Structures are given as structure tokens and as C-alpha cells.
Chain A
């Protein structure tokens, strides 16, 4: 994990944290009691975090979603599940390390997990291809989901990708076909599917493992048809217009809840998920567990009918 990485709007937080640390050092070194001062600074720190995070712009939240220290799929799985057994490969071409699949226990529920995997540093990211899947990754995910259907296990999906990989091999092996097939097959998979967008949800790359019964989304995650930079380059014809395009695209959790695209926002601790992974994981676990319990209570044919209806309703148009 990178030792330090500070977003520009986090600077006052970091400065205050440093001050508190210094005070603690002084207190223990000189044997003076600074407890009340430290406590008051800590209260100020919490309030500062809340205030700063409450007022972030859409583009600033994108920065939080991309924070190198933000917990990734395996970080979360380690905290929300036990007895994780990873499974590998699409039985066709190779194992795509940009997506993690396997069996896990979340609370009392045995589930199949599928999650896009980013790294915290350059080495990990190269290994994981920055969480950008190839076609064999989507096929690996589908294979895991078909197992979940066969053995009647709910599917828990964690989305965190800057997009499906745009490369020569990806096209040769049918990136579009792999994503399209997953969309169709997930819409009729005979088991509950709970989706959580934990960081970045970029376009078809996210949707390729993103069709299900319930879509949860972390407070600072983003989910969009295109990245703010991509939209800036194409529509605004200006690569520096990412902040404006993030505003225009309305890509934050609050926007998507209002649009009816997601079902629930998972709160992050003040300061973002990276400031307190334990609380973020606890919130994720609570939300997922609750949804699994709701979904397994629904008869399967009803569940499938509701799932298709959910997507059937999406879109805004007028009839003249």
C-alpha cells in the first residue's frame, strides 16, 4: 500500500492529523497531560472530515473512488467473508487476474463472489491490469455464476473498474460478445444477484458483471456510461473538462439513486472508505447480508420476473 497519498481537498485533514500526532508525541515525551487538547482536536478532525466530504464535487468524489489506498475487492473480501476459496480461469483461454472469483461465507450465507481487482501500487496494478478485464475475465465471471446457479448459491458482485480493457487481444477474443453475453445471461441467472459498486463503475466494463436483482453503491463510488475524461475529450473536446463532464454526466451515488438506477447507498466513514477500511467493510457487509436475506425469501420465478422488469423500466422518454 502506498504510504502517503493525499488528495488536494484532504490536506487540511492531513495537517490536523499531523498536529494531533505531534501533540501525542510531546505528551508522552515530556510527560504532560494534553488529553483534553487532543480530544478537542480529534473532535475538530472528525467535524472537518464530515464537512469536507459532505461538500465534495462530483469530480472530487471520482478522485476518492480512485484513491490508491481505497480498499479493493480482496481487502473487502478479507474483512466481510470467511473461508474464501478462490477459483481460476474461464476453461477456455486463461485466467484473468483483473477479476477474482470464488466461494465465500458472508455471515451465515455461502455465496459465489465475483469482483474486479485493482492493486494499491504499480506492481499490483500491472499484475491486475488496473482492474480492466479481458473477454476471458467476463467468461471466467460467467463460469463462476453458472456454478452459483447450479449449486443454488447467491452471487455477490463487487464492481471496481476503470473499464473493460481496450486492446488488440481483447478485440480478437470478442470483448463486445463477452460483455453482451454476460448481460443476457445474468438477466436470467436462476439465483439471487447482489451487486455492489465499491469504487469505479466504468461503462460496459462494469455492466459486463453488473446485471442483478439489487445494485448497492458506496457513497463515493461512481458509475457512468463513460469516464469523465473520456466524455471531456469527445463531447467537450477538451481533456481538462473532466470536472464539468462529471457534473454533466451525474455519476455519483446520490444522482444514480435519484435516477432509480441503484437501489441503495452504502455509507462511507467520514474521510472516505480509505480513511477507515474497517467501518467501510462493516457497512458493506451489513448491506449485502440484508439484501441476500431479502432476495432468498423471494420465490425464484418471481425474482427473475422482477429482475427483468427492473431493467425493462429503465430509460426516460416521452410519447407524443
Chain B
């Protein structure tokens, strides 16, 4: 019904470009105008150019985990405003505004679940929440996800999407890089697998800590990755950046990403890799989902 109604309204594609929240969506990469339902059926991947739209943390949990296996943890860990930070707006107000607007309480969701029947400790970041920035809460939730993997002798999977450390928590945000990195050394010592999935965008403090420390690093196609943002680099060197600079493909070529995997193949690829890396019989009996 609505389909026809829209068609009859004779909107030109130029007009459609100005309506991102409608039935039609313009691809950020190739400019193609795509019918929203079609895009949704295609896991929010542009059918024309394979550009992967940003999706929510819940969306990833749904497409990666076995149905009904996700158990959320650490949802009760929330931000305070340790610096009493205020720029153009108070940080505490920002946090409130984002929590009210979104159905999530912070920029990462963590818990336990199964991928093709393999138990995992999982964390998924959400770019909508202050640019997926990492403050004390993101750091603590990720830290507990790592510890849960160690405690239960199961693999760790983190799907990242982040602009970096959260400036409003200043040095404490920087220290979350050290906190998560230090705990990942324990996971590594325990011989447990960690798969890091990089989505658009994963940069700065998150890229320079846990996102880069996976035993296997998978990236979605055409994601913006890297340490410094492209604008900062451009301002520093004073020249144009080459096309494709800091894309997933760029980092695959330079040896920092193992595989570029389309969203539709993500779940299967993680499961396949884990079948090689994770052998529960060799480790202490997996404690997940029993005796609890």
C-alpha cells in the first residue's frame, strides 16, 4: 500500500536524498536510493555497492548469536560524571539524553551466548551512544566480558564500533585501554581464543587497544578503521589522502586484518574459526550454562 502511495507522490530522487528517515534510504557510499525493506532484508548492506550501514548492538546480537541464547550481563553498570565535565553541555545531561533516546544504557552491551552452539562471552559496541566512545563503563563491561571468558574457559568475541576514548571522562577513559589490554594478556595466557570484529567505524582508543588484539581480526567491508582520524592526518601532512585510505581493505592489504567478511557471512565465519581455535575438551570443562 504505502509503496504505491510513495510512488504516486512523484518524489524525485533528489528530493528523496533529503529524507533519510523515510521508506527510502540513500547509500552513504554509492548514493543509490534503496527501498528500506529491501535494505533490511539485505542486513542493511547496500545491494548495489556492498556498503555496510551502521546497525545497532542488538542487531548484531540477533544476527550473530543462536536465537534465544543471549543473556545480558553488567547492564547495571552505569556512568557517573567523575570529572564533573562540562563543554557546551554537561556530560551527565548527555548521558541522560542518550539513555532516554536509545534503548541501551551505554556504548557496549556484554553477555553470554552461543554461536552455532559454541558458547562465547560477547561484547557488541553501539556507535549511536556518544559515538561508541569508551569511558569507564565501556571499559568495565569489556573487562568483565574478558574475565567471564577466562572464568568459564570460553572464547571471547567483541564487535567494535567506536570513535575512541570518551573525552568527557578524560584520563580515566585512556586508562580503560590499559585495563582491557592488561586483562587480554590474561586471556591470552589462558590460551583462550579472542575474535575481534571491526565495523564502521573503529578508530583511535578502541582500535589502539582491544580491537587490535584479537587472535583473529575480522572487518566488515569498507569500514573506516585506524588510529588517527582522516581529518587529523590530512591537517598534519597537508595533502590529500589516497582513495581507500584507512578502509578495511587498506588494513587487510597492509597486514592488520585477517579477513573481510560480509555481514551475511559473519556468524558462519566466526563459528568456523572458533571450531579451529576452541576445543572445550582440552580446557577445563566449559562452565557456561550449567551448574548455574
Contact = CB atoms under 8 A, between A and B. Distances in A.
B34 interface: no
A294 interface: no
A243 B175 CA distance: 23
B172 A319 contact: no
A66 B115 CA distance: 51
Interface string B165-197: 111111111111111011111101100000000
Contact of B182 (A211, A223, A225, A255): A211
Number of chain B interface residues as a range: 35 or more
Given A171-B228, A174-B254, A180-B209, A316 B172 contact: yes
Contacts of B188: 184
B256 interface: yes
B205 interface: yes
B87 interface: yes
Contacts of B204: 176, 204
Contacts of B87: 231, 235-236, 245, 248
A314 B178 CA distance: 9
B218 to A, nearest CB: 15
Contact of B212 (A181, A226, A308, A316): A181
B171 A259 contact: yes
B185 A185 contact: yes
A251 B85 CA distance: 13
Interface stretch (A33-41, A83-91, A161-169, A267-275): A161-169
A317 B106 CA distance: 12
Nearest to A312: B179
B11 interface: no
Contact of B213 (A180, A188, A234): A180
A187 interface: yes
B170 A314 contact: no
B83 A207 contact: no
Interface in B83-113: 83, 85-88
A245 to B, nearest CB: 7
Given A180-B209, A188-B189, A308-B182, A166 B167 contact: no
A167 B208 contact: no
A293 B135 CA distance: 34
B255 interface: yes
B245 A317 contact: no
B242 interface: yes
A311 B210 contact: no
Contacts of A231: 87, 167
Nearest to B225: A176
A238 to B, nearest CB: 9
Nearest to A163: B228
Contacts of B186: 308
A210 B82 CA distance: 22
Contacts of A167: 228, 233, 236-237
Given A250-B171, A312-B182, A312-B183, A317 B79 contact: yes
B191 to A, nearest CB: 14
A179 interface: yes
A315 interface: yes
Contact of A316 (B136, B203, B209, B256): B136
A168 B245 contact: yes
A320 B166 CA distance: 21
A188 B185 contact: yes
Nearest to B137: A317
A164 B170 CA distance: 18
A210 B208 CA distance: 13
Interface in A241-283: 245, 248-251, 255-256, 259, 261
B83 A317 contact: no
B145 interface: no
Contact of A176 (B82, B86, B143, B227): B227
Given A168-B237, A176-B207, A207-B177, A312 B167 contact: no
A168 to B, nearest CB: 7
Contacts of A185: 185
Given A176-B225, A255-B171, A317-B137, 16 more contacts: A164-B227, A168-B241, A168-B242, A171-B246, A173-B254, A180-B210, A181-B212, A183-B181, A183-B208, A225-B165, A235-B167, A250-B83, A308-B182, A314-B175, A315-B139, A318-B79
23 contacts: A166-B229, A166-B232, A168-B233, A171-B226, A171-B233, A173-B254, A174-B255, A175-B227, A176-B208, A176-B212, A183-B209, A184-B185, A185-B185, A187-B178, A203-B165, A204-B174, A204-B205, A226-B165, A231-B167, A259-B82, A312-B183, A317-B80, A318-B79
**Shortest 10 CB-CB distances between A and B: which pairs?**
A166-B228, A315-B136, A183-B181, A187-B182, A316-B82, A180-B212, A175-B227, A235-B87, A314-B175, A176-B227
